[in-house]
Chains A and B, each alone.
Chain A
Amino acid sequence: MSKLASSSKEMSAVSDTTAQGGHGPAARTSTFKKLLRDPQFVITASILVLVVLAGIFAGVLSHHGPNDAELSAINAPMGTDGHPLGGDESGRDIFSRLLHSINTAVISALIGAGVAVVVGVVAGLIGGYFGKVTRATTEWIFNLVMTFPGILVLIILMPVTGGDYRATMLVFGVLLSPGIFRIVRNLVLGVKNELYVDAARVSGLGDLRILARHVLFVIRGPIIIQTAFLCGSAIAVQSGLAFLGVGSLSTPSFGAMISSGFRNLYVVPTQFLWPSLSLGVMTACLVLMGNSLRDVLEGGQPRPLKMGAGQRSAQDAATSELAADESALLQVRNLGIAYAAAAGGANEVVRGVNLRVARGKVLGLVGESGSGKSQTAFATLGVLPNAALVTRGSILFDGRELLGLSDAQMRPLRGKEIAYIPQEPMSNLDPSYKVGSQLVEGTRKALGVSKAEAKQRVLALLDRVGIMDPQRTFDSYPHQISGGMAQRVLIAGAVASRPRLLIADEPTTALDVTVQAEILDLLRDLQEELGMAVLIVTHNFGVVADICDDIAVMNKGVIVEQGTAEQIFANPQDEYTKMLLGSILDEDKVREDPPVVAGAAGGAIEGGAA
């Protein structure tokens, strides 16, 4: 991942750790504190604790055993002496049964979720960490386990388990383990290839220690979350089975109580009420607690994207005091773009940018990561993400104000008058469609021509951008072509409509140096031929020297200097520009000092190559 792709990553307030999950001991306490600050977590956890305690102290809290039947208590209404919640159809005390059912539920959850987690985690660690064969085998085994609908397996194995709910939950736990296995295995696979694991291997750390130190941290969060959900499932399933009559009659459980309550629904409705409520409350608390855990440990649910809504602009954003420049094709005045800060309030990443692109000229927008240069480019196209807000300024394209235009109004401009080339060619092509069809779709949108006509134009374009066998590339899928070819394809798509302005976002950063030179040649040729103005965002002064007429240097959200290429290279005015130019590694300087050999034992040893 290049540092430049990361500028957009920095903009979306995702910190590195949320994706990785684990934290060190210092950060761990703050996770717990965060949980305590979440009312949903506190409430649900407290309820669960109370419920579990009630179950544990069932013997003390209720005066009857769960299976003690008294003739006098048959269908007794609530509030009867000695039976606060009444008696069931067999004369057993409902309150007592309820409390003991809690224990059954808790044990079901512990066994079911426990087995699932243990089996899933161990298998996931093994399946994810070790070689291909192990991975394939474990994958296959768990596919086997997943093949059959859980409840049916439990039922079919009833003769074997004898209906004992603990054995049943054990089997259920095994049936649930593929979900955990998959999660753990994917996480391990992801971490296994991380460079810090490689570094640990180089240092001589053995596999087991690597698993313990580096991998386990990462899976902690997701496992905790899943455990909460699994407990809920286990309780629900055990209740369902008990409802159906599976298992020993002497084991009190919500399901059994609901079943008898269901039978007596018209006689004494409250018999049905209490176990249902208890079951509902327990599962609800577990699910909600799981959601809270997910919010704190993983940063919550992903947010929907408001497709079609267009870029967000503040109310009176589109104004500026600077005079409009007639000769410029694109003029950005006092542009401000902000994102919501983690601690509240807004964080401006572009803070009053002024730049102009003259007609038919190439402007290089130069800056380091975090300077805001890509954001400026996206704002011009109107494709900033939802999280961004244009706070002020104006973007004039040929005299027309772009800020504040709806997405529908921008669409005819995009792809037709203003075109775009992205940085990473491969991730910018839809992997499911052939290259040709993607180009045709865009071309038809831009030029409004028939499919056949579009195809002809696209083939001609592919040839123009230097692709050897246009028809073959047209019929290929993105994964079948190289990075350099993919970039040529994207360039072809961009210039199809002879746009007046081309915005290129680091178009050669992801390419090899020899390919970069070819692509720059191509861009230069096209620019001359079509008379396009180009706004090229880059961090590479070599690229700027090769292709740009004008340069704008950007630092921390503002333009610090703008001028012609000759001016800036020969005579930079701003300190930052001077610093940047000074950091360019000197072409002429070669390493002069000879290799040093630090005090080798036994006499003088010549340093350097033999």
Chain B
Amino acid sequence: MSLLDVKDLRVEFPGRSFRAKPNEVLHGVNLHVGAGETLGLVGESGSGKTTIGRAVLGLVKPSGGTITFDDRNIVGLDKRARRELARDVQVVFQDPYTSLNPSMTVGDILAEPLIIQGVDAKQAGARVRTLLDQVGLPQDASQRLPREFSGGQRQRVAIARALAPKPRLIVCDEPVSALDLSTQQRVMELFIDIQRQTGVAYLFISHDLQVVRHISHRVSVLYWGDLVETGTAAQVTNDPRDPYTQRLLLAAPVADPARQRARREERRAFLAAQAG
């Protein structure tokens, strides 16, 4: 039984100049995310992966297709329905520097989703304390401003904010792409821990195959608005069937000189075969 079900999703953006034709960015994408699982969404620029995330979150209006959560339609919701949905669906964005309001304290940032839900200040305060523990931040963080924290720590705040209303699905839009290597690994571990503890599902969007492989149960590959392959993480990232996925896999460099040399050869052979 799927938590999130996307069927035949189409999104178009208006053309650049006044009378230009609209530009279809997603051409009928199908995917679903089950409870407690991570669906990794991989694609390069122009693939539309971020657009899918934004459509699920209600930030972009689809021009066709359906998106349902728990079998309820979540497209074009009014303000009240959106607030209700916010209890179940949350987001963690890519840029830790601009996803937190710089003029609000961390405590206020974390409390905001709760206050919107009508939780009273005292309960919200207690929950904020729990959240800080959950993401490994010190308790005094709630009095401080975002600029006093590093990128990795801010991302933890963003994760805590997403967890505040105890959602069942979090859309993660490139959440570790802007982080340093060492921080990246720690934050990835945090994501996995939280999933194990709370059973939240992730729609995990990334351009990095390595990252996606690490956290996903299933993976879907997007190419210029089309879903070209879907399967288990193991299958898609080790033994892909679609030529684009294969190209993607071969293009990612390996952190070992000998193995990278081997992969280069494989890639050369593959591209030659494709051209032939």
Contacts and interface: CB of A to CB of B under 8 A. Distances in A.
Given A17-B147, A204-B79, A596-B196, A540 B59 contact: no
A415 to B, nearest CB: 29
Contact of A516 (B234, B237, B251): B251
Contacts of B208: 513
A605 to B, nearest CB: 7
Nearest to A371: B180
Interface in A1-33: 1-3, 6, 15-17, 20, 22-24, 26-27
Interface size class for chain B?
35 or more
Interface string A173-206: 0000000000000000000001110111111111
Contacts of A448: none
- Which of A1, A200, A587 has most B Cβ within 10 Å? A587
Contacts of A22: 102-103
B25 interface: no
Interface string A515-551: 0110010000000000000000001111111100000
A194 B59 CA distance: 12
A565 interface: yes
Nearest to A21: B103
A512 B45 CA distance: 7
Interface string A203-221: 1111000000010011000
Given A590-B238, A608-B34, A513 B252 contact: yes
B105 interface: yes
Question: 7 closest A-B pairs (Cβ-Cβ)?
Answer: A542-B253, A598-B199, A204-B83, A595-B37, A595-B36, A541-B255, A195-B99
B34 A595 contact: yes
A430 to B, nearest CB: 22
Contacts of A580: 181-182
B185 A514 contact: no
A583 B83 CA distance: 38
A161 to B, nearest CB: 40
A610 B252 CA distance: 31
Nearest to A593: B196
B35 A595 contact: yes
Given A16-B102, A26-B105, A607-B35, A517 B93 contact: no
Nearest to A565: B257
Contacts of A605: 1, 35
Contacts of B165: 203
9 contacts: A3-B178, A6-B97, A22-B103, A23-B145, A204-B86, A590-B238, A595-B37, A609-B32, A609-B217
B184 to A, nearest CB: 7
Interface string A591-610: 10111111110000101111
Contacts of B143: 26
B35 A203 contact: no
